[in-house]
Structure 1
Amino acid sequence: MKKTTDYSIGGHTLRVDSGSLNGLLEAAGGFDTFLSAVKTHPDTMLTLCERPYPQNTKEYTPLYRFRFEDKECSFGSDNAGKYFFRIFPPERQEPFFMEYDIHTRTAFANAPGNAALVRFGLWMAYGMAFAKDMTVAVHSSAISYNGQAVLFLGESGTGKSTHTRLWTQNIKGAGLINDDSPILRVENNTVYAYGSPWSGKTPCYRTEKYPVAAIVRLSQAPHNSIKKLKIPEALAALHPSCPPAFAYDNVLYDGISATISAILEKTPVFHLECLADPDAAYTSFGAIFSDKNVAV
């Protein structure tokens, strides 16, 4: 049964034009918060439609292969504005295959039984659709404080979630926006952080939007210290947290690069060497905000 649902994510409209795919997103969780009734011109939205798993995909050139959790993924293009993304689950399940047309902002995907595959495939489609619109999903944990956002970056296992939890437990007024993939978007010369339906293992699906006060890259250390980075160092801090697959396509990477450049022009970036203790939160807080209104 056909069902059309619109979602507003990062200020952009995502339309899912399939009963089966909508059902899988409902099962995945997190998307209902982003339901939207706002009328949007079709040319400015991403539309996801359903079609069966293709029998032949030889026209696509693989550009990048990687693992997502326990799944093999492949990303590529036909060098003419169409991209593909495929996920092979380890079990004997139907793979997920999505084709995205950059000219029409339309994606076509099958509806396998695994809702997590569709959730991640939609994250890839979103990134491709809005890369040229100063929009990027950043692997990070984001908090809000006093009407502004701070993003904490780091490799998996570095302690991003631990650090934002220390903020919410020790900094009065701090709240979690998203714990895995908030959206950064440059609008009217301001960098904003948006919540998203992609929040990793923490179910934090907020439709909130805040101007970004700072970006902080974490690394574990036997002490707590923080320093502000110059532009080359800031680029090295932010770049690895942006979608790596898009670096293998010139069109998508041009959009990501322009977005990163705009973010770095307007946003201070820090490197925090830290322990997993409250003083680490106070250290980063003190470097970013002058009003030290902290709970004790």
Structure 2
Amino acid sequence: MNFSIAGLKIEVDGMDVLPQQMFNLRPFVSVTDDAAEPICKIKCGCRLATAVGHPSLTSSFDGKTLSLWLLPGRNVVALRLGYHGTTYHLEASCDWLHVRTDCTADTLAGSIALGDFIMISFIYSSAYHDTVLIHASCVAVGSSAAVFVGPSGIGKSTHSNLWLRYVAGSRLLNDDQPALRVHNGDVMVYGTPWSGKTHCYRNESARVSNIFVMAQAKRNEAVRLDGPNSFCALIDMTSLIKSDIASFTRISGTVAAIASRVGIYKLYNRADREAVETSHAICLQSYNKEK
């Protein structure tokens, strides 16, 4: 089965039918047999050797524990599903083009693990194609989009919802992890299968008008960030493994290219209609300047 995410092809060998629990991937199933080369080829149901030694990275999220080993010539991931008591494994080439995993989509636990492995594989294989997955909420109006970034709880989704209320023709593109891609000289934002608690899985794209770094305040004001501060604000919101020098170099290069092409603002806001008018006015200025 093939998926098209951010205009990039992911090939999954060993999954002929998409399980119901992986419904977030359904809009991204590629129904045409295009000739594009996949950026990542995932083979399911493989027999893998267990990694030994201390992992390079361990993190816990949503009742799961992920361990990563950066080894000579390959990367190894172990994903333990705490509520199922099952551990699944992944082995990838250093460029994440070739990925093997011992899980399949035949069971509930296996499909959960495979969904996570597809996301991980996309993050690090797309890094070699000028693409980053970023922690953000994104609203599109026509062919342009505004992207709101910042840590959890800062008001990204709230500001997006205010745009949906007050800006005519606006639509939510993604509410947690859209993809940013430098493509044909433009910075594009894409909906992805990963949208947090909001079920918004649009296989759509728009050109990024502006990026806003959210900050709660008692006033509404947008302050443009310079190059270094723009880069730092974005790199902190990207999904990456800093100890993986190869992918970190690629991702940081893409973030630098985005920061040089798009106006990035610190948006001090009270989460009200005036805040929307402030961010929307900047996007309109950018749009008119492009025309």
| Structure 1 match to 2:91 | 99
| Structure 1 match to 2:257 | 262
How far did residue 276 of structure 1 move? 2.4
Q: How many residues align?
A: 282
Residues 209-266 of structure 1 show CA distances to partners (whole Å, capped at 9, x for unaligned) of 1111111111222222211100111112111111132x21111111101111111111
* Mapping 1:135-284, distance limit 5 Å: 135-245=131-241, 247-284=242-279
| Structure 2 match to 1:83 | 75
| Structure 1 match to 2:57 | 64
Q: Report the secondary structure of 1:168's partner residue.
A: helix
| Structure 2 match to 1:125 | 121
In structure 2, relative to structure 1, the CA distance for the partners of 1:53 and 1:92 (3 Å cut) is farther
**In the alignment, is the contact (CA less than 8 A) between 1:186 and 1:259 conserved in 2?**
yes
In structure 2, relative to structure 1, the CA distance for the partners of 1:64 and 1:290 (3 Å cut) is same
Q: Report the secondary structure of 2:114's partner residue.
A: helix
**In the alignment, is the contact (CA less than 8 A) between 2:27 and 2:203 conserved in 1?**
yes
Distance 1:212 1:135 in 2: 13
**In the alignment, is the contact (CA less than 8 A) between 1:102 and 1:129 conserved in 2?**
no
**In the alignment, is the contact (CA less than 8 A) between 1:13 and 1:40 conserved in 2?**
no
In structure 2, relative to structure 1, the CA distance for the partners of 1:53 and 1:200 (3 Å cut) is farther
How far did residue 198 of structure 1 move? 1.0
**In the alignment, is the contact (CA less than 8 A) between 1:186 and 1:262 conserved in 2?**
yes
In structure 2, relative to structure 1, the CA distance for the partners of 1:242 and 1:104 (3 Å cut) is closer
Q: Report the secondary structure of 2:236's partner residue.
A: helix
Distance 2:133 2:142 in 1: 23
Q: TM-score, normalised by structure 2?
A: 0.89
In structure 2, relative to structure 1, the CA distance for the partners of 1:273 and 1:189 (3 Å cut) is same
In structure 2, relative to structure 1, the CA distance for the partners of 1:252 and 1:61 (3 Å cut) is farther
Amino acid paired to 2:262 = T
How far did residue 14 of structure 1 move? 0.9
**In the alignment, is the contact (CA less than 8 A) between 1:74 and 1:87 conserved in 2?**
yes
Q: Report the secondary structure of 2:58's partner residue.
A: strand
Q: TM-score, normalised by structure 1?
A: 0.88
How far did residue 177 of structure 1 move? 0.5
Amino acid paired to 1:76 = W
Distance 1:228 1:49 in 2: 45
Give the unaligned 5+ runs of structure 2: none
Distance 2:89 2:246 in 1: 21
| Structure 2 match to 1:286 | 281
Q: Report the secondary structure of 1:257's partner residue.
A: helix
Amino acid paired to 2:63 = D
**In the alignment, is the contact (CA less than 8 A) between 1:53 and 1:97 conserved in 2?**
no
**In the alignment, is the contact (CA less than 8 A) between 2:90 and 2:99 conserved in 1?**
yes
| Structure 1 match to 2:130 | 134
**In the alignment, is the contact (CA less than 8 A) between 2:143 and 2:207 conserved in 1?**
yes
Amino acid paired to 2:25 = F
**Greater Cα shift, 97-106 or 273-282:** 97-106
Distance 1:132 1:148 in 2: 25
**What do you get for the CA RMSD once the two structures are aligned?**
2.2
Distance 1:225 1:258 in 2: 29
